[in-house]
Structure 1
Amino acid sequence: MKKETLLIVAFITLLVSCTENKKSVQSEEQKPDTYQVKIDSLLKAYDKNDEFMGSVILSQNGKTVYENTVGFSDINSKKKASAKTKYRIGSVTKSFTATLIFKAIEENKLEINKTIESYFPNVKNANKITIAQLLQHRSGIHSFTKDKWFFDNRTRYISSTEMLSKISKYESDFEPNTKGEYSNSNYFLLALILEKTYNTSYENLLQEKICKPLNLNNTYSGKEIDINDNESYSYNYDEKWTEFPETDLSTATGTGSIVSTPKDLNTFFEGLLTGKILSDESLTLMKTIKDRYGMGLFRYTTNDRQGFGHRGRIDEFRATSIYFSKENLSFTLISNGSKIDVNEIYTEILKLFLGDASVAISENELKKFVGVYVSQSDPNDKSVLIQENNTLINLIKNEFKAPLIYRGENRFVLEQMYAESVSFIFSEDGKQVTLEQGGDKGTPRIKE
């Protein structure tokens, strides 16, 4: 279990990023149709203030329950974006690549614990790095997107041979499997392994193994943006929206090369995570989290619900796709221009849709949970909880105030945008609290 000081990093980042933006609407009991009006209103406000362009879709039990698009796919020609607009999805591509790797494993063409020296003998530590470690960002291979060379050359065609040569020259960032650290190089190499294994292109494999079986008719490996084929440009904002120079997707094979629509992404993640593509054994491995990373998936907690998916960014495109299995709910947001952190936007939309009501608790009942709770394993690790009216507050470093949401049965939740929510589970008398995050429980803390 992480110490509180580590748990709170994400909250502080959230606090800073959200200060100047719209506050989340506190959830209330909603009639089934009111979330459409509220989400429409939110997106309309973003659009009116030139704060966001993009598309949102929510699907439940395989049916679209909300869909909306604001802004332009091409500002110069005043072409409005629509539900048919196709966007670059950035690192959401990695979920497709991981799926293809597991398909190859299930077809007995690859072994997950096989080292990669036979494919890439010149990559540092290739004789120690396994396919599993590439999938889970535990290889230690330096990410090419951290190299200034990449940003100086990203808009030109770069062959796989040149990319591999660059990656092979990097010194390792750490010994394989000692920790997790995100690296685009991992998934570029996985794409090359797939092409060598099947002796065909990544695009052919994508279509044959995933897109055709799931009827993803608007998902493919991108080339130069074609606005006449319903593809979108991306934009940054500096007094006005300005088209962002597009990355040549030759540099992003397997890591960020796919173009898709929100509807196709919902179909993909629902299909993947309900076993329509891979076996339960493969899905279990994909969802196993170490140092925050699964094998092509991330775990998300929103409104105290757990889902799996991925997010991505390339140029000024940003995408987030999550599937919540318990609710059979798929969510995708893709933006081609935003002045607001899109994580804030998607969190807000999900709150409006889910409409969760916090459990009522009186000011008098709340008093027994107020105090300083000290970890039994580390006396310096403390949780300071104060009360403001009928809200319990986690006071962080005597400076930041994190409100906790009461979920009943002596459990309060700290929701975080950039990390999983943290549960504060109290004893009946309020003299002890245990912190839980992502299924991991910390040492009990006793009130001073």
Structure 2
Amino acid sequence: MNNKILILVTLALVFSCKENDKPQKAETQSINNYAVEIDSFLTNLAKDQVFMGSVSLSKNGEVVYSNAIGYSDLEGEIKANKNTKYRIASITKVFTAVLIFKAIEDGKIQLDQTIDSFFPTLLDGYKITIAHLLHHQSGIMSYTKDQYFWDNRTQNQSTKDLMNVISSLDRNFEPGENTEYSNSNYFLLAQLLELIYDDRYENLLEKNIIKPLGLQDTYVGKTTHSDHNESFSYTSENGEWKLFPETHLSIAKGSGSLLSTPSDLNIFFRSLMNGQLISSASIEKMTTIIRNHGMGIFRYHIHDQSGYGHGGNIDGFTANSIYFMDLDVALTISSNASSMPIEEVYSEILKAYLGKQEVTISEEEVAQFVGVYISENDPEDQCVFIQDNNVLVNFIKNEFKAPLVYWGNNRFVLEQLYAESISFTFSDDGNQLIFDQGDYRGVYKKE
């Protein structure tokens, strides 16, 4: 459908039971339907053994719901709780980006400054700017795709070792010509911070972010210790959770090395987006989206709401943390074991909080919207819809099937976390379609 639709960009990033705690709610908020609905949803996930992890949701800076299900340590039979720390993988990159913008505001570096003076042995360093690293536009391949990473990920790695690996990697494109997510970019940014401040990355985090915000459970991880309320991670094998051998986080500095809790992450993202860490001018640069990427942050669209945040995966851990400014709502999910996409868990919890209810539609009603719709402005631009019982499916390029959610009044929506949701609104006779995505609106006629 030309380049209007940005479909389901999967951030499967290397650095991306029984109810244990009663839901924690703000004192001013009584028991409500969304809490009951979320409780039921999570309890069912636990019973089906498809998800373990923690959830925290805040409104106006106050926690209105939190819960934890499953175990942080299966062998030790230690249940997760609201203070359990999880590896947050690529959400670390947002912290690194904030430190870079603080360094810019301190006059230490400039956004358009090339990195050759910091990394003289790095290929094309004279072409690569700090902005390129932040925006994943350097062209440097991610070292997590190199065999060295997989051969050595469980062992302690020195900065020198990783710099040698990154310096040897191929370039995927000329700096600035394209965008491709790469953990190499954020390892380099962390190393750059240590060089300009002559201090350790973890000390810079503590001084500039963790201490000012009062984050009690956020820090650079080392070997997991359950007696510190740190979680192990697991994968599903034959219907049972099996311990996942953990990555040594020295190999993930700046790109995926942090531990945190969902409640701490909600505080962090709300504080960031409300100007408590960096200036409004820096936030504007950080949230400028080019080819789906901001500078260390992503824009999300779900259930007709937009927000900024990040997600990430490492070992058996997955996490998503998003702040929705218009609602002043932050929602974070951290999981140490999941056999279903965390995006689905996230979507269901947010939908329950927003009180959005899908509308039932019959197979006969869906049938009238099946067919090919052609843009009035471009005959090559087509929308194709097929039917799966009482579900309308957007069939994209004859290969990708995207089931649509029906919200009533002939409106079907393709929900996407990492791109603008797409709304398809049909005329009553099914002969015309209004296509809405972000600022784009198009009229399509049935073939």
Q: TM-score when scaled to structure 1?
A: 0.86
The residue aligned with 1:310 is 310
Given residue 402 of structure 1, which amino acid in structure 2 is its aligned partner? P
Partners of 1:174 and 1:418 lie apart in 2 by 23
* RMSD, aligned α-carbons: 3.0
The residue aligned with 2:189 is 190
The residue aligned with 1:342 is 342
Matched ranges for 1:8-157 at <5 A: 33-157=32-156
Question: Does the residue aligned with 1:109 lie in a helix, a strand or coil?
Answer: coil
The residue aligned with 2:212 is 213
Partners of 2:312 and 2:300 lie apart in 1 by 14
Given residue 441 of structure 1, which amino acid in structure 2 is its aligned partner? Y
Partners of 1:153 and 1:98 lie apart in 2 by 26
Partners of 2:138 and 2:6 lie apart in 1 by 25
Measure how far apart 1:238 and its partner are: 1.5
The residue aligned with 2:17 is none
Partners of 2:336 and 2:401 lie apart in 1 by 33
Conserved 8 A contact 1:402-1:414: yes
Measure how far apart 1:358 and its partner are: 5.8
Conserved 8 A contact 2:56-2:66: yes
Which moved further from structure 2: 158-167 or 357-366?
357-366
CA distance change for structure 1 residues 34 and 443 in 2, over 3 Å: closer, same or farther?
closer
The residue aligned with 2:267 is 267
The residue aligned with 1:295 is 295
Partners of 2:395 and 2:387 lie apart in 1 by 10
Measure how far apart 1:377 and its partner are: 5.5
Conserved 8 A contact 2:8-2:417: no
Matched ranges for 1:225-304 at <5 A: 225-239=224-238, 240-304=240-304
Measure how far apart 1:363 and its partner are: 11
Conserved 8 A contact 1:393-1:404: no
Given residue 111 of structure 1, which amino acid in structure 2 is its aligned partner? Q
Question: Does the residue aligned with 1:191 lie in a helix, a strand or coil?
Answer: helix
Matched ranges for 1:369-380 at <5 A: 372-376=372-376, 378-380=378-380
The residue aligned with 1:26 is none
Given residue 260 of structure 1, which amino acid in structure 2 is its aligned partner? S
CA distance change for structure 1 residues 340 and 392 in 2, over 3 Å: closer, same or farther?
closer
The residue aligned with 2:163 is 164
Given residue 150 of structure 1, which amino acid in structure 2 is its aligned partner? F
Partners of 1:195 and 1:77 lie apart in 2 by 38
Question: Does the residue aligned with 1:37 lie in a helix, a strand or coil?
Answer: helix
Partners of 2:55 and 2:259 lie apart in 1 by 16
Conserved 8 A contact 1:405-1:414: no
Partners of 1:338 and 1:398 lie apart in 2 by 27
Partners of 2:366 and 2:48 lie apart in 1 by 40
Given residue 435 of structure 2, which amino acid in structure 1 is its aligned partner? L
Measure how far apart 1:91 and its partner are: 0.4
Partners of 1:133 and 1:257 lie apart in 2 by 21
Partners of 1:77 and 1:391 lie apart in 2 by 44
Question: Does the residue aligned with 2:335 lie in a helix, a strand or coil?
Answer: strand
The residue aligned with 1:325 is 325
Spell out, residue by residue over 1:39-73, the C-alpha distance to the aligned partner (whole angstroms, 9 max, x if none). 11111112122211110111111111111101111
Conserved 8 A contact 1:115-1:128: yes
CA distance change for structure 1 residues 371 and 208 in 2, over 3 Å: closer, same or farther?
same
Conserved 8 A contact 1:304-1:413: no
Question: Does the residue aligned with 1:278 lie in a helix, a strand or coil?
Answer: coil
Conserved 8 A contact 1:394-1:404: no
Given residue 404 of structure 2, which amino acid in structure 1 is its aligned partner? P
Question: Does the residue aligned with 1:56 lie in a helix, a strand or coil?
Answer: strand
Conserved 8 A contact 1:321-1:331: yes
Question: Does the residue aligned with 1:196 lie in a helix, a strand or coil?
Answer: helix
Question: Does the residue aligned with 2:156 lie in a helix, a strand or coil?
Answer: coil
The residue aligned with 1:403 is 404
CA distance change for structure 1 residues 163 and 276 in 2, over 3 Å: closer, same or farther?
same
Given residue 352 of structure 2, which amino acid in structure 1 is its aligned partner? L
The residue aligned with 1:19 is none
Partners of 1:321 and 1:110 lie apart in 2 by 29
Which moved further from structure 2: 428-437 or 347-356?
428-437
Identity %: 50
Measure how far apart 1:182 and its partner are: 0.6
Conserved 8 A contact 2:358-2:405: no
Question: Does the residue aligned with 1:203 lie in a helix, a strand or coil?
Answer: helix
Partners of 1:367 and 1:249 lie apart in 2 by 52
CA distance change for structure 1 residues 196 and 349 in 2, over 3 Å: closer, same or farther?
same
The answer for unaligned runs of 5 or more in structure 1 is 14-30
CA distance change for structure 1 residues 407 and 277 in 2, over 3 Å: closer, same or farther?
farther
Measure how far apart 1:9 and its partner are: 6.1
Which moved further from structure 2: 198-207 or 349-358?
349-358
Partners of 1:340 and 1:214 lie apart in 2 by 33
CA distance change for structure 1 residues 215 and 76 in 2, over 3 Å: closer, same or farther?
same
The count of corresponding residues between Structure 1 and Structure 2 is 427
Partners of 1:237 and 1:114 lie apart in 2 by 46
Given residue 217 of structure 1, which amino acid in structure 2 is its aligned partner? Q
Which moved further from structure 2: 236-245 or 59-68?
236-245
Partners of 1:104 and 1:10 lie apart in 2 by 31
Conserved 8 A contact 1:58-1:332: yes
